[in-house]
Amino acid sequence: MQIMTKRLLVVLVGLLSIIGVAVPSGTGTASAADCADIHLVFARGTQEAGAPVGTTGQAMYRSLQNRFPGKTVRVSPVRYQASDSFAEGVDFLKTVAEGVRDTQGQMRAIASRCPSTRIVVGGYSQGAAVITYAVSDQLSAVAPLLTEVPSPLSGSVARHVAGVLIFGGPADRWFRDARVPPMRVGARYRAMTREYCIPGDNICDGGPISRPNTVHGQYAVNGMTDNAANFVARRVH
C-alpha cells in the first residue's frame, strides 16, 4: 500500500510539473534544482475559465515559455475566492486581501528559497487589483475597512522581481463605485510594471462599475501577453 501511494505521488508531481503548476515543498526548503529561472505568480479574474491561473494566466505562461526557450519557467496561482460581490465594498476588499496575502507569501517564499529566480507577478481583472494591492506601499488606506491589513513587501523582495503585469485592471472610478480606495503600485515596483488596457474595455477604461463587456475578455488572445513577455525579457539578465 505504501509503495502504491508513493508511486501515485510521483505521478501526480510529474503531471503538475508538466502543466507548469508549482508544487509546494513539504520541508520549506528548496535546492537549486527545484528553483525555476523565472517564476510567474498569477491571479485570475472573477469567475475566469481556465482555473487555477485563468486563461489569461495560461497565455502569459506560454508567452514566457516561448520568449525564454533556454530557461525553466514555472507558474503558480494566487489562491483567493475571486468573489463577484462588487456591490459590497468590504466583501470585495476581503477577498482581494485574501489574494494579497497569498501573493505576498509566495513572493517572500520564492525570494528566500530561490534567490536566483526572477519573480514575475501578474493578474487579470480582479486579479489585477490583487496584484496592484500586493505591491502597493499604501495599504494603510484600507485600514478603516479591514480588521487585518496586509503589510507592504520589503525592499529585499523587490530585488528579486522582474516584472509586474496588469491586464484589464479596474480603473479608479470602478474602485470608487465599489466603495474601496484605489491602489497604486509601490515606488519600488513602478519601473518594472506594465499595465495593459484594450481600448473599449469597460473595466479599465474609466467607466462606471458594471459587468465586463466582450472586449474585456480578449487579453489571452490579442498578443498583449507576448508584449508583456518581451518587457520581462528586457529586465532579465
Written as nine digits, the cell of 186 is: 509601490
What residues are labeled active site? 125, 201, 216
Q: How far is CA 122 from CA 26, 53, 145, 147, in A?
A: 25, 10, 25, 26
Q: How far apart are CA 160 and CA 116, in angstroms?
A: 8
Q: How far apart are CA 45 and CA 201, in angstroms?
A: 14
Beta carbons within 8 Å of 101's beta carbon, 6+ residues apart: 150
Phi and psi angles of residue 196, each rounded to the nearest 5 degrees, phi first:
-120, 125
